Amino acid sequence: MKILNINKGIRGYIIDDDKFRGCSIAVVLRLPLKRETVTRNALIVNVLGLGSKNYPSPMQLNRAAEEMFGGGLECVNVKKGDSQLLEFYAEVINKDDNIKNALYIMREVIFNPLIENGGFRKDYTEREKTALRLSINSIKDDKREYAKTRLTEEMFGGEPFGVFGDGYAEDIEKITPETLYDGYRDIIKTAEIDIILVGNMCVENVCRYLAEFDKGERYFPEESVSANKVTETRRITEDMDITQGKLCMGVRTCADYYPLLAANEILGGGSDSRLFMNVREKEGLCYYITSSVVRCCKSIIIQAGISKKDLDRVIEIICRELREFYNVSDEEIEGAKRNIIKHYTASEDVLGSISDFCMGGILGGEVYLPKDGAEKIKNTAAADVRNVFKDTFPDTIYFLRERD
């Protein structure tokens, strides 16, 4: 792996692996997740994706992309931890021309936008305002995701992670093509820009192409935020016209990332986890039950699809498993470590996963390759894993309740 410092806050990460046929290219504008700017930023990446100065419409841009590198350019807004990522991503076949052309089109889209009268194009701005409004309104369509979003909002309100990554409908209206362009000029200067390439490529050539990302003057403000404190479990219930209730529980810990990852794996990682065994296999109370780690908040989120008649029983089992977690056996810990290492090893075979892991490392300020993550988890002490849920309890329990 090679790390290039291209300009202040602009870095290239080149992970050369010739077992792949393809190469993934991600240019990521990284911004702090904030209530005031999240909506505007989400809109910016979508408007940029409609066309640039030289390719001023979706058809022209997509035709050029198709012709030059086989197309498939994605311009998306992603919430990752407590950051907002404006991501420009493509996977191409490993021909030098494809990589060069994809980077060229991405530079074009990011740095050479279509501007009219001191703002973005009015019709494009309006189109994307409508699209964003609809997309925000549609969060209720995926009930499982909606329950998680609501839990996140309730549990982490006031912290960056509690900010809704797609933005807020009520902030859309006042945005104009001009204010949007002001926002664009701001983020082009302030965003950290990470360019991650994974796959089969000529590193020397790629370094040359990346040098062309050396753009203008840049500065970085610094801020910090503290976490919410909890004293007792909060329970929130909402009714909806659905067939199956969606339970979502959040638990805060004080644990470091790797012990937390191992403990989460044992608790609700896969089909041999304690929750899966006890809630599904032993008592047949659900089809899915999983837990996942929120790295930036040292927390886990447990999700299950259940009937409301079983709600109390399911919560009881989950709380019991948290309480009795300290007694996990050495075999369970070793098994969990093996599972995680397996997961890391598996991600070494997938372009997008390596790229994603690298981004996670950039945010966590640590390791950039899956194999280094595997090393960390291998060296995690069993005692640290056992202590992860010591003195913890569910911070927030959210239940999206089904009709009778």
Partner 1 sequence: MKISARQLQNGTKCYIIYKKDWKMKEAMFSVNFGSADDSVIPGTAHFLEHKVFEQKDMDVFKEFSSKNASVNAFTNFNTTAYYFICSDFFEENLKTLLKFTAEPFFTDESIEREKSIISEEIKMYEDDPWWQVYFNLIGALYSQNPVRNNIAGSIGDINRIDRSILTECYKKYYCGENSALVICGDLDADKTFDMAERLILPEQGEKYEKKKFSDGIESHRTVKKMAVSRPIFNLGFRESDFDTSPAERVCATNILLNIMFGKSSDFYEKMYLSGAIDKDFSMEYLLGEGFGAGILSGASDSPDNVAQAVYDRIAYIRKNGISDYEIEGSRKQLLRSFFLGLDIMEKVVAGQTDFAFKKTSYEDIYNKYIGITKKEVMNRLDIFDRDDSALSVIEPA
Q: Which residues bind partner 1 (CB under 8 A)?
A: 19-22, 57-59, 62-63, 65-67, 69-72, 91-93, 123, 127, 130-131, 134-135, 137-138, 140-143, 240-244, 270-272, 280, 284-288, 305-307, 335, 338-339, 341-342, 345-346, 348-351
Nearer Cβ to partner 1 (58/158): 58
Task: Give CA–CA dist 104/210, Å, rounded.
Answer: 10
Round to whole Å and give the CA distance between 171 and 348: 40
Q: Closest CB to partner 1 among 158 and 270?
A: 270
Identify which of residues 41 and 339 has a Cβ nearer to partner 1 in the complex: 339
Q: Which of 365, 393, 374 is nearest to 258 (CA)?
A: 374
- How far apart, in whole angstroms, are the C-alpha atoms of residue 285 and residue 309? 10
Measured from the CB of residue 139, what is the shortest distance to partner 1 in angstroms? 8
Q: How far is the CB of 117 from partner 1 (least distance, A)?
A: 19
Least CB distance from residue 20 to partner 1, whole Å? 5
* 365 φ/ψ sector (left φ>0, alpha ψ -120 to 50, else beta): left
Cα 153 to Cα 134: distance, rounded to the nearest angstrom: 19
- Determine the Cα–Cα distance for residues 252 and 298; give it in Å rounded to an integer: 6
Question: Reduced to 3 states, what is the DSSP secondary structure of residue 140?
Answer: helix
Other beta carbons within 10 angstroms of residue 392's beta carbon come to: 19
**Least distance (Å) from partner 1 to the CB of residue 70?**
3
Distance CA 113, CA 52 (A): 5
63 or 323: CB nearest partner 1: 63
Do residues 188 and 44 make contact, with C-beta atoms less than 8 angstroms apart? Answer: no
Helix (H) or strand (E) holding 236: strand 234-239
Of 142 and 214, which has the nearer Cβ to partner 1?
Answer: 142
CB of 171 to partner 1, least distance (A): 18
CA distance 403 to 392: 32
Q: What minimum distance in Å lies between the beta carbon of 254 and partner 1? A: 29
The distance of closest approach from Cβ of residue 97 to partner 1 in the complex, given in angstroms and rounded to an integer, is 12
Residue 211 CB, nearest approach to partner 1 (Å): 26
Q: At closest approach, how far in Å is the CB of 376 from partner 1?
A: 17
Which is nearer to partner 1, 241 or 312 (by Cβ)?
241
HEC per residue, 256-302: CHHHHHHHHHHHHCCCCCHHHHHHHHHCCCCCCEEEEEEHHHCEEEE
- Residue 124 CA to residue 150 CA, distance in Å, equals 31
Q: Are 144 and 20 in contact (CB under 8 A)?
A: no
Which CB sits closer to partner 1, 231 or 243? 243
Return the number of the residue (201 or 306) whose C-beta is nearest partner 1: 306
Beta-carbon count within 10 A of 180 CB: 20
Residue nearer to partner 1 on the CB measure, 137 or 205: 137
